[in-house]
Amino acid sequence: MNRVVKLCLAGSVVLAILGIPALSLGPVTAGAQACTPSVGPPSVPYPGTAAAASSFEAGTLDGFGVSTSGTGHVSVSAGLSHSGNCAAVLHTTTAPGSMAKMTVGLTPGTTEAYADGWFNIAGEGQVGNNVPYFRFFSGSLRVMDVFRQNISHELMLRISTPEGFTYTTLRQDVPTDSWHRLVMHVVPNGPGTNVQIWWDGRSVYAGTVSIPATTVDMVQLGSEHDQQMADIYVDDVIVTSGTGTPTPVPGPLPESKGDPSKPFNDFRGDGQALVLATGTLAADTIVRRGRHPARMTRA
């Protein structure tokens, strides 16, 4: 056994000297000393009750429900992070039964919810599938979600309507291996549901949609079906919900005054008073409707 360990160590040294990367068996799990708990959770600028607020620097997934099966797993990783040293990672493969998801329960009777997070799609899946960001549920019904379509790289909004599904392209090309921030503001009210979406700090969608529900009760990260291969890194996640009078849509991104010490691509704290896209659809979107969404993309 000792000889095997020595050989493995020697092989790693040789690979390092030659500049050849070692074989990766998946995302790097954070060690006990990798994270920086002193960083603390992100501040919450949104109305309502905070259902989750985590930078994952505590090294745990506290505040989230976690469900995995097969080769899928969810963990705190030191491999990639947006802030601090750690982030959550959801890893799935094309193997049958491979699933990984994180869920956040909302206040019963929620009339308004915000979901805010930084995402890095480190590995995409197969053609015909997609990689999910945030998904909103009412009971077992997924009423809306934002995802990145594999191969085409489009950022898509999908709405479950009483007649079928509506797909809207929010961005034409979202690269892998890069951090992007998604914020969703959802005010559920059946055919009068209001939605606003910010991508990297800019409003890309604001309008009224029709869903078969008047409340939402869960936000999900990850997929609800198997074989949706991806490596999804998630950081600085905030989810809030409330039952009071909702904030108007469209509106500004609720944030405190900007911090000039932060990197240019860190939009946390940079207030965006200007709404760039209002109405039922943004000016640069494409809508696809139909009762059979599986022909376009697997959920």
- How far apart are the C-alpha atoms of 273 and 111, rounded to whole Å? 23
The answer to whether residue 194 is domain-embedded is: yes
According to DSSP, residue 151 is labeled: T
CB 62 within 8 A of CB 74: no
Position 126 scores a pLDDT of 84
CA 94 centroid distance within chain: 20
- Asked whether residue 31 is assigned to any structural domain, the reply reads no
Find out whether 195 and 136 touch, Cβ atoms under 8 Å: no
What burial class does residue 173 get, using C-beta atoms within 10 Å of its C-beta: 0-12 exposed, 13-18 middle, 19+ buried? exposed
Residue 113 lies in a domain: yes
- Is there a domain that residue 1 lies in? no
Rounded to the nearest 5°, which phi and psi values hold at 298? -80, 135
Domain that holds residue 152: 53-285
Residue 192 located in a structural domain? yes
Question: What is the predicted pLDDT for the residue at 21?
Answer: 33
Q: Could you list the pLDDT tens digit for every one of the 299 residues in the chain?
A: 444 334 433 444 333 344 333 333 455 555 545 898 888 899 999 999 999 999 999 999 999 999 999 999 999 999 899 999 999 999 999 999 999 999 999 999 999 999 999 999 998 888 888 999 999 999 999 999 999 999 899 999 999 999 999 999 999 999 999 999 999 999 999 999 999 999 999 999 999 999 999 999 999 999 888 878 999 999 999 999 999 999 999 999 997 544 433 433 333 433 333 333 333 444 344 455 554 333 344 56
72 domain residue, yes or no:
yes
Domain assignment present for 35: no
* Per-residue confidence (pLDDT) for residue 257, from 0 to 100: 46
Residue 10, domain member (yes or no): no
Say which CATH number the domain at 75 has: 2.60.120.200
Distance CA 56, CA 154 (A): 28
Number of domains in the chain: 1
